Amino acid sequence: LSAAGAQLFFMSDDGVGGKQLWCSDGTAAGTRQMMDTMPGNSAVMRNLTAVGNQIFFIVNDSTLWRSDGTQAGTVIVDTNVNSQYPVRFGNRIVYRTGNRLPAQLAELKISDGTAAGTVSLFQSSSEQDPLNRRIANAPVVSGSRLYFMDQTPADGVGIWYTDGTSA
């Protein structure tokens, strides 16, 4: 259950399409299913995260979606997500991608919910862990910084931070 703007977003099962994302303005007439993210199947949705008037959520632990409360505005942001914990950082969202295969490095991305507004913040350089699970799933926001953990061959495990830029 999460509020974004004047709308309430929640996950529910109507007995027909399985568990899906719903939105309400607080009235029966204004309560509707947003989109069937897994047609014919119940989706596993996690972590409804409000950012401004939008909601972000993870489907089946691999796909990041966003919704503005309309069918047309409910879209996929990224299909390579490896995080159950997206984090609001200012007016954007930060999430972890990669390492589904041993050759992929874990990466933190930041997004405003559009393809053009989705960029890499940090890519792990660790080769010590073949599955490269060193970037923490749940970064922490404090003030204007986002803190996370990573391991590098030169420095070992350490705490890193960003102000939301990759430089």
Q: Per-residue pLDDT tens for 114-149? A: 988 998 888 776 555 544 455 655 788 999 998 887
**99/77: higher pLDDT:** 77
Q: At residue 58, does pLDDT exceed 80?
A: yes
**164/28: higher pLDDT:** 28
**Looking at residues 147-165, what average pLDDT do you find?**
77
**105/128: higher pLDDT:** 105
Give the pLDDT band of residue 84 (cuts 50, 70, 90).
low
pTM of the model: 0.81
DSSP string, the chain: -EEETTEEEEEEE-SSS-EEEEEESSSSTTEEEEE-SSTTS---EEEEEEETTEEEEEETTTEEEEE-SSSTT-EEEES-B--S--EEETTEEEEEE--SSTTPPPEEEEESSSSTTEEEEEE----SSTT---S-SS-EEETTEEEEEEEETTTEEEEEEESS---
